[in-house]
Chain A
Amino acid sequence: MHIRQLSAFATCGVLALMIMSALPSGAGRRFFDDDPIVREPETQDASKVQEWEIDLFIDLATNLFRRPSDPAPDDAARNVNTIDEVPDSSWFTNRILARPLSTAELVRGPLNGSGPAPGVWTVIAQKSAGFAPGFTVRDAQGEMWFVSFDAAGHPEAATGAIVVANRIFWALGYWQVENYLVTVNPDEVVIGPSSTFTPLSGKKRPMKRRDLDDVFRRAHRTASGYRAVAARAVPGRPIGGFRYDGTRPDDPNDLVPHEDRRELRALKVFGAWTNLVDMKAGNTLDTVIPSEGGRSIVRHYLQDVGSTFGTGANGPREYDEGWEYLFDGKMARKRLARLGFFIQPWQTVQYVENPAIGRFEGQEFEPAGWKPRVPTPAILRARSDDTFWAARRVAAFTDEMIRAVVKVGTYSDPAAEALLGDVLIQRRDKIAAHYLAAINPLVDFALTPAGRLTFGNAAVDRGRATPPAGGYRGTWYRFDNATAESVEIGAATTSTVAELQAPGPLLRTPGTFVRIDVSAVEPAPAPWTVPVKVYFRSTDTGWTLAGVERLPREK
């Protein structure tokens, strides 16, 4: 190649780079115009997604022994928007904290009707999952319901936990099944002509009355019949559960590895609050539902949250549930070597053992020490910004709301209702005290056109900490959205209250950004002195919050 041609190519390359950098490109921007997004886009058709039955044994063994994904993670959740919030999606809907939620709404939860139609139920299938006795029926109007009973000898335990937890997790933002408390009269249950039953032999056959009698024999009978939960069949085509790691390879909209979804990481806190110990894929459900433009998308349900509080399907929890994983090599080695002289709190904690509530307490409860039976990759990866996000939602449940939601359990013993409410309140307070103060807890940032920054302190506002004695400090920057460079504006400003004034007039042309690093001034809890980086975009009407960075996104 001639030297002159070479020089022309070189010139061409340099010019191309110059032009590319001069053109308005999305690739280098920190903030897009639509940031922060409030809804996670799901643009592709997922109608071809296939059923995937995640095997229980594989699921548990993988999470217990293999621990999928990065073993020492410290990366931010990847489905949060630029202000560190979770957009609505087929996984999650912002409810409590994000908007006013009335007690009546909370108590109603996901319910859209009034339960199964009165009249005769026709059994169409045996119960295929879980240990609780039950079956699948069509009500008198032909609607399908999944029915599960309290186990014999354990009245109100499983059914109460299901309906109370159902409302709580709905309010927290998860897709929930409609669960109704019902009383079943065996005389009003008939077997459908196509109903089948699979006995021990594994050979499916038509269901017989004795199969139904077996179900009722294992269920708890009360004076008025059999108390049960009827769960309305969810819309769409069921395709199995979801794993707490990776993505579904046949769902085009499933981009964020599940262990990096904040709402799944947040189960570390929500699980601790409610003692949701059974976090297996089998307790989740994905369905393919119609969406806009003739497309289908996958909706993700936290389908069975009944493994909460102090009972399981067949009686009180084991003493160590909520305290230890089913298998923890380190603990096992210590116990083995010390001949068992390695006493843990669960071995001495005192319970008020109410048969309807089981072993559920708040005195010795330690939020950070809580463990489900099997760790999920999502909760193992939860960072303090994830747990802070979750704890704010837990803390948003008022005493009144908790007392009201507990009533949904319709416990015949007032002591059971009181106990569950008391413990939930105790655990809520401990969660708030622990997680809200464990990171810089400044929230609700707003910047006036006059350059006054206001904010809240989630820990102080919830009464879980005292305001920092030294007040707050703000360091102000002009922020270049194209290059992500920040140039300090004047001197840092301080205040003894939760507001800060800019050091001078802020340049307000549309599209300009300011960044303010806000922290507590010592003496203050150490995590509070790490600044939250807050970004505002200038608009025609003033400053709009564009970004909140509580922790660096990557380790």
Chain B
Amino acid sequence: MGPGIADRSGVTTPVRSLVVACASAAIIAVAVNAGAQESRAETIAAEQAEKATRLSPHVPGRSEALLLKAQKILLEQPDGIYPYFGSVYSGGGFTLGAGYRRFTGDRTNWNVAGMYSIKNYKLLEGGITSPGHASGKVGVRAIAGWRDATQVPYYGLGIDTAKSALATFHMQQSFTGGDVTFRPLKRIKILAGATYEDYTIKSAPGDLVSIEDVYTPSTAPGLGENPAYIHTTISAGYDWRPGADYARRGGLYEVALHRYSDRADTLSFDRLDAQVVQHLPILRENWIVSLRGQLQTTLDDADQVPYFLMPALGSGSTLRAYSSWRFRDRHSLLFSGEWRWIPNRLGVDMAFFYDAGMVANQLEGLSVGDLITDFGVGIRFHTPAATPLRIEVAKGREGLHLVFGGSAAF
């Protein structure tokens, strides 16, 4: 059919095409427009109706689910497996651990835990904890365990020992005992406990210089002995810090008396520990001056104290520029001061610190003029009540020392 030629309807083909086009256009336009709303309320209603076709409950994303799980394990889960952070024994190095806890009452729980350190130190322990009796004033704890510290250093006695005098011993300790804590007032804590402790000392492993190759019983008292003790403790303290493992204000004043009764009665001794901690906030905790004084003294000069139970200095929580157990003797004195500043109240502290301490064979030998000192700087990542990570660099007369700690310095 050619252009302009009329068909039987009398309408030329181009015209008919146009009519068809017009009709189609009208239909399309009306159809499309039928979906448009004539009011704001209708527009919103249409959007709501559309959303109603694709509803779904909230489903946590991958990272949210992961965080929820971590939170449950770390913070919430009263029963079951939990990560165990701590130290097998000072000087053991980086440690990993896990525990399993089970509640048998409202608060009473038993638990078994194990830790393993990079130096092959091991700790296995189990216990029952039952806090909150007598309106929250009394707590009871029983514990038993086994510790294996494979390479504990010994540098000899006194403050003047050389670093090169290092010898090593392998210590195994099994223990079982318990304690009772009484809090007559919120800030006052009295503790009484008794533990059976059985020590076995072995030669150092591998190529390490073993203690018996270098030292004698006169330079390492108790060398060659494997004593077993009834260790009783009684302590009393006034603690007005908001948290024992993290505080920006408050203080702790505590005295503890330890009696180590050797079953063979050859290495029995008594020791008194006294500690004063004070946190002094400045300008609403913008800065904190934290101070500590600590004395450990063997009470009877006639008592023989085995070298591995002597008061000691050196470690990330005493003289921080010195390695663990660097200085040992019958008496020790330690002072620490920190100038802390708080980049963020929620989780980060910084500190310049200064430590000074000494050990001596006689209490009179603890002279403030002869203190070994160190200084350094550190960063601490904390929660409102705990310091799970403390990293510090300390400088002393034996050089720089890097400290990784899982608790507050004091």
| Nearest chain A CB to B123 CB, angstrom units | 25
Let me know if B48 is at the binding interface, CB within 8 A.
yes
The one of A5, A48, A52, A61 in contact with B55, judged by C-beta atoms closer than 8 angstroms, is A48
The one of B37, B136, B344 in contact with A26, judged by C-beta atoms closer than 8 angstroms, is B37
Query: Quick check: A347 and B284 within 8 Å, CB to CB?
Result: yes
Let me know if A200 is at the binding interface, CB within 8 A.
yes
Determine, out of B105-113, B251-259, B296-304, B311-319, the stretch whose residues face the partner at the interface. B105-113
The one of B38, B40, B49, B67 in contact with A58, judged by C-beta atoms closer than 8 angstroms, is B67
Query: Quick check: B107 and A4 within 8 Å, CB to CB?
Result: no
Question: Within 8 Å CB of A217, what residues of B?
Answer: 135
| Nearest chain B CB to A274 CB, angstrom units | 22
Q: How far is the CA of A52 from the CA of B57 in the complex (A)?
A: 8
Given contacts A11-B21, A23-B33, A52-B57, contact A326 B283 (CB under 8 A): no
State how many residues of chain B have any CB contact under 8 Å with chain A: 65
Given contacts A23-B30, A319-B284, contact A61 B67 (CB under 8 A): yes
Given contacts A26-B39, A43-B49, A199-B106, contact A335 B343 (CB under 8 A): yes
Query: Quick check: B40 and A343 within 8 Å, CB to CB?
Result: no
**Residue of A whose beta carbon sits closest to that of B44:** A41
Size class of the contact patch on chain A: 35 or more
**Residue of B whose beta carbon sits closest to that of A10:** B21
**Residue of A whose beta carbon sits closest to that of B46:** A43
Query: Quick check: A34 and B284 within 8 Å, CB to CB?
Result: no
Within 8 A of B (CB), among A23-46: 23-27, 32-35, 37, 40-45
The one of B24, B32, B41, B75 in contact with A37, judged by C-beta atoms closer than 8 angstroms, is B41
| Nearest chain A CB to B324 CB, angstrom units | 29
Query: Quick check: B25 and A16 within 8 Å, CB to CB?
Result: yes
**Residue of A whose beta carbon sits closest to that of B352:** A339
Within 8 A of A (CB), among B146-176: none
Residue from the set A4, A11, A48 with the largest chain B CB neighbour count within 10 Å: A11
Let me know if A352 is at the binding interface, CB within 8 A.
no
Question: Within 8 Å CB of A104, what residues of B?
Answer: none
Within 8 A of A (CB), among B39-76: 39-45, 47-49, 51-52, 55-58, 64, 67-68, 71, 75
Query: Quick check: A336 and B350 within 8 Å, CB to CB?
Result: yes
Let me know if A9 is at the binding interface, CB within 8 A.
yes
Given contacts A19-B26, A217-B135, A255-B47, contact A335 B79 (CB under 8 A): no
**Residue of B whose beta carbon sits closest to that of A335:** B343
Given contacts A26-B37, A326-B346, A331-B344, contact A55 B21 (CB under 8 A): no
Determine, out of A168-176, A246-254, A460-468, A491-499, the stretch whose residues face the partner at the interface. A246-254
Question: Within 8 Å CB of A340, what residues of B?
Answer: 286-287, 341-343, 350
Given contacts A8-B21, A41-B44, contact A201 B105 (CB under 8 A): yes
Query: Quick check: A249 and B45 within 8 Å, CB to CB?
Result: no
Q: How far is the CA of A13 from the CA of B57 in the complex (A)?
A: 42
| Nearest chain A CB to B270 CB, angstrom units | 37
Q: How far is the CA of A44 from the CA of B44 in the complex (A)?
A: 11
Query: Quick check: A16 and B28 within 8 Å, CB to CB?
Result: yes
Query: Quick check: A336 and B348 within 8 Å, CB to CB?
Result: yes
Question: Within 8 Å CB of A37, what residues of B?
Answer: 40-41
Given contacts A12-B24, A32-B38, A41-B45, contact A55 B71 (CB under 8 A): yes
| Nearest chain A CB to B277 CB, angstrom units | 21
Query: Quick check: A16 and B57 within 8 Å, CB to CB?
Result: no
Given contacts A4-B17, A33-B38, contact A335 B341 (CB under 8 A): yes
Question: Within 8 Å CB of B342, what residues of A?
Answer: 335, 340
| Nearest chain A CB to B42 CB, angstrom units | 7
Residue from the set A15, A55, A213, A214 with the largest chain B CB neighbour count within 10 Å: A15
| Nearest chain A CB to B14 CB, angstrom units | 7
Query: Quick check: A40 and B107 within 8 Å, CB to CB?
Result: no
| Nearest chain A CB to B346 CB, angstrom units | 5
Query: Quick check: A33 and B39 within 8 Å, CB to CB?
Result: yes
Q: What are some 22 contacts across the A-B interface (CB < 8 A)?
A: A4-B17, A5-B17, A12-B24, A16-B25, A26-B42, A34-B39, A34-B41, A41-B44, A43-B45, A44-B51, A81-B40, A200-B78, A201-B105, A201-B109, A202-B78, A203-B78, A249-B57, A335-B342, A335-B344, A336-B350, A347-B284, A347-B286
Chain B residues in the interface with A (C-beta under 8 A): 13-14, 17-18, 20-22, 24-26, 28-30, 32-33, 36-45, 47-49, 51-52, 55-58, 64, 67-68, 71, 75, 77-79, 103-107, 109, 132, 135-136, 283-287, 341-348, 350
Given pairs A27-B36, A249-B55, A255-B48, 11 additional interface contacts (CB within 8 A): A8-B20, A26-B36, A33-B39, A43-B48, A52-B58, A58-B67, A82-B40, A335-B341, A335-B342, A336-B341, A339-B341
